[in-house]
Structure 1
Amino acid sequence: MDVVLTSLFPIFGVIAVGWALRRTGLLPDNSWGPVSRLAYLGLSPPLLFTAISRADLSAITLGPFLGAAVLGFMAMAVIMLAIKPLLRVPDPTYTSVFQAVCRWNGLLILALGIALFGDQGEILVALVMVVSIPLVNMECVAALAVWGEGASPKLGSIAYRMVTNPLIIGSVAGGIVNVAHIPVPVPIADTMSLLGQAALPLILLSVGAGLSFTTMRARPRLLALSVFLKLMVGPVVFYGIGRAMGLEGIPLTILLLTGSSPGAGSAYVLAQQMGGDAPYSAGDITASTLFCFITIPFWLWLLG
């Protein structure tokens, strides 16, 4: 347990610094949007490209691992569809609960994977991101298209955003370079690596800056339910599927972390665009991020 806490403390510590920086006003509020976009659009793709292009993919059993990840995200969507009649909430609010349970903060889990397992953790989380970003977006867009308030989804635009997602582009490009054994000139490779090293601190600072305790006041009981499903049921689902598919060791632990991830900021953006309950999404992102500081160490301790 001491090893787990020692590995996780810097991650949560940097998130806390991000929260403090915003609350103290050392950085103006309007600066955090550009910082977050820089980390997401400018620095994360080089990070993923470097990790995957240099990875020894032959050492990873990709089929069962990626299959288990896909089944995990699909299972969480099925659970949410099954309990919809029991929730008795307005349809737009349901779409935000759906996103709260089905989305994950891949970049935060990427930081945790690197802290715990180094290069192998980075590669595995990056691969999960490649398969999950299109899948999870399709799930959430479908829910909003059916139950969002007066939304008329522009499916072509949404599909274009998924295909041109910087994280997918960086990961796929790294995979092509790796599989095709395309040589990357050393100066370019070193530049990409240096850019990638700057990504994680900015990502974690942005996560902390985005925490807002006031947003947790909306629908507290429903919020407690969605956080419980995400942080307590999700890990069991992903872990169970991984075990059923014969996974163990680090790949199984990465699946557990994937299932135990807090909500992602993209849920708030999509709720605004397609008629969901944006205030609820904001509250869930804060609540799930805060409670994952407790639940992630718990699950890692339980896993041993």
Structure 2
Amino acid sequence: MKILVINIKYLGDLIVSSPSIRSLRKTYPDSEIVLLLRKGFEPVFSNNPYINRIITFNPELKGNSSIKKIIDGLKFIIELRKERFDTVIVLHPGDRTAFWAWFTGAKKRIAPLKQSFSFLFNNKISVEENSMSYLEYYNKIISGADVKIDSDRTEIFVSENDKKWTDEFLNNNNISADNILIGIHPGASEPSKIWNTENFVQLIKKLLAIHEVRIILFEGPQDKIVCNEMNNKLEGEKNVYFVIADILKVAALIKKCKLFISNDTGTRHLAVAVQTPVLALIPEDYEKCWNFYSEINNHFTIFGKRNFSQSDLSVKPFLDGINVETVYERVGKLLKLW
């Protein structure tokens, strides 16, 4: 049997869907399992032993009316049709993905029930985004293929080259196993999920006062402004390192950290997947959908509130209600510093 799984969302969603992919493989050990992912996110599954290969979708094709892009889009659909998939599982609603699934000609097409073109599927799962945890959401959709979920454990697989790069980075910066290495990701996909950069700077300075602490600040594609601001405020501070790297190198480096501190962003899920303890700063309205890890998994949460200024529209939204001392004390307890 030949199975196509479509998920063109981003880093966090892809990692959260990893238990469903693993369980699919265990249910169909002899099938060819192919993933269709957004271009640029192949590394999330590039070393995954539970899939056979990856097809990528170029998002630049979306919404572009030029003749070339239309032709390229048609070619993409034709190539999918040539694959002759037996089953297509779409892990989220979407007009484009619904048509892809239908055009493949697969006899079995599985997807969430609530979407505009649900009639294009013949196995519709009664789940709805934002009504449950996304871990449960993905697991329920994949279960539509008669799959039994083996566990909720997320995972990502780094290569030996990524591990070697990490070791070289640590050696070049004189960071040893005796140091207390803390990873921090100060950005997020939207401003209302970002703890104030001044808070992060204060926290980092307090942590650096502790003997043997080293800080790695991870900068993602959307974090340039935030990280530049922090870099300026931390100028002259020793033992702080800014890192821009690809997904698997980031995963390998996070695995070396004693603790990872993050807003609600994809790297939080990355840290859980490599089994590094996490302290997450999350908006309280995200609790139902995105707070599905537990302290058993070494995932700890501090909830804040999204601040949308009504009086001054020039003020960007931010994550409020979490003070520096609260985070500092929690870090100390988790690392057993006092």
TM-score where L is the length of structure 2: 0.21
| Larger RCO, structures 1/2 (Cα 8 Å, 6+ apart) | 1
- Which structure: greater helix fraction? 1
- Structure of greater Rg: 2
Of Structure 1 and Structure 2, the greater strand share is in 2
